[in-house]
Structure 1
Amino acid sequence: MGTDPDGDYVEYVSARLPSLQHSAYLLCGGDRHTADDIVQATIEALYVHWNRARRADNLDAYVQRMLARKFVDSKRRGWAARVRLMWPAPEPAPPPDDPDRADDRDAVLHALRRLPPGQRAVLVLRYLCDQSIEDTARALGCSTGTVKSQTARALAAVRPLLEPALTRDLGGKS
């Protein structure tokens, strides 16, 4: 990192923002607005603690841990602590791509939405953000045993929801 802390912060956040948004989107079960709120809270906290954060051995893992904790904290707050809009904002259209991939993405998002927040966070961090069991446990502030048990429960819950998509992708073979 350079000698300009603010410049380093802006450079880091600019480079990592798409990845943070994607992780938050998955953590929030496809709710873009909540994901944006989580990312905003994370980058605000990162700015406040930038001098400590930039000394971390793995800055990306440190920021992913912050993001996961902001997500968990948002689920703990009562309804009065959340901002309510008077009208819904329009949902942006998904980018055009392969229709089969869009179907798979919809199936994964549907399955993630059906999970409790803790199980959703474990699956997103472990399999979609490629974090180790230990990193996931640190990010969520729990034990590795909890990560393993939550992963097993979450996978058992999503498998029946994803089997039709898996069967279609394998050409009808089970």
Structure 2
Amino acid sequence: MDIEDETRFREFVGARSKALLQTAYLLTGDWEHSRDLVQGALASLARRWGQLTDPQRAEAYARKAVYHAHIDKTRRLAWRRERTTAAVPETPSPDADPADTVANREEVMAALRRLPPGQRAVVVLRYFEDRSDAEIAEVLGIAPGTVRSQHHKALKALRVTVSPNSTREAEVA
């Protein structure tokens, strides 16, 4: 990577790493695991940086790498029967009862963690990144019909596990 490419890459990382980390956290519920996913995605992106001249393509590549790394890691953990756990950090809103806000967030995060990785990725892309079926299909490398099917199954599971009186910030459907 030449100096100009390295400068552009550093600017990209500075501008987009926080958003990538937030997405990874929504997928994993674990800040350390999220950092690992983003670091791996950015390392992969750095190797291909010269081929990705358009910043939007670079971001799409990085996001796709985060989603695929998460799905792969989740499959490996399931295979080895390991489970990661982490406490959800508390950031209550000033107008809500802090106990309710934290409880609702924990309830939603726990429900998301129980979803299979593909369904969880679809939910995060749809509700937290506001992506269309076509965009989700492109990011995950699956058919739009599969996106709709995964979305339907995920919402069905979430409706069973998330209480209907959760606050707005905890709503995913």
TM-score, length-scaled by structure 1: 0.77
Distance (whole Å) between structure 1 residues aligned to residue 37 and residue 138 of structure 2: 18
Contact 1:25 1:35 in 2 (8 A): yes
Unmatched tracts of structure 1, length 5 or more: 82-87, 170-174
The letter of the residue matching 2:52 is A
Contact 2:88 2:106 in 1 (8 A): no
After TM superposition, the structure 1 stretch with the greater mean CA deviation from structure 2, 132-141 or 113-122, is: 132-141
Q: CA deviation at 1:163?
A: 2.8
After TM superposition, the structure 1 stretch with the greater mean CA deviation from structure 2, 39-48 or 61-70, is: 61-70
1:68 aligned residue = 67
What SS does structure 1 have at the residue aligned with 2:162?
A: helix
1:39 aligns with 2:35: no
Shift in CA distance, 153/79, structure 1 to aligned 2, threshold 3 Å? closer
Contact 1:111 1:162 in 2 (8 A): yes
1:102 aligns with 2:107: no
1:84 aligned residue = none
Deviations 1:75-111 (A, max 9, x none): 3446899xxxxxx9x9695345442443332222011
Distance (whole Å) between structure 2 residues aligned to residue 76 and residue 5 of structure 1: 35
Contact 1:61 1:135 in 2 (8 A): no
2:17 aligned residue = 17
What SS does structure 1 have at the residue aligned with 2:165?
A: helix
Unmatched tracts of structure 2, length 5 or more: 169-173
Alignment of 1:1-174 (within 5 A): 4-28=4-28, 30-55=29-54, 57-77=56-76, 93-95=89-91, 97-98=93-94, 99=98, 100-166=100-166
Deviations 1:107-163 (A, max 9, x none): 220110111111111101111122221121122221111110000000000012223
Shift in CA distance, 145/74, structure 1 to aligned 2, threshold 3 Å? same
Shift in CA distance, 53/70, structure 1 to aligned 2, threshold 3 Å? farther
Identity fraction in percent: 36
Distance (whole Å) between structure 1 residues aligned to residue 75 and residue 127 of structure 2: 24
For these two proteins, the number of residue pairs brought into alignment is: 158
Contact 2:111 2:158 in 1 (8 A): yes
Shift in CA distance, 132/60, structure 1 to aligned 2, threshold 3 Å? farther
Contact 1:72 1:140 in 2 (8 A): no
TM-score, length-scaled by structure 2: 0.77
Distance (whole Å) between structure 2 residues aligned to residue 154 and residue 93 of structure 1: 24
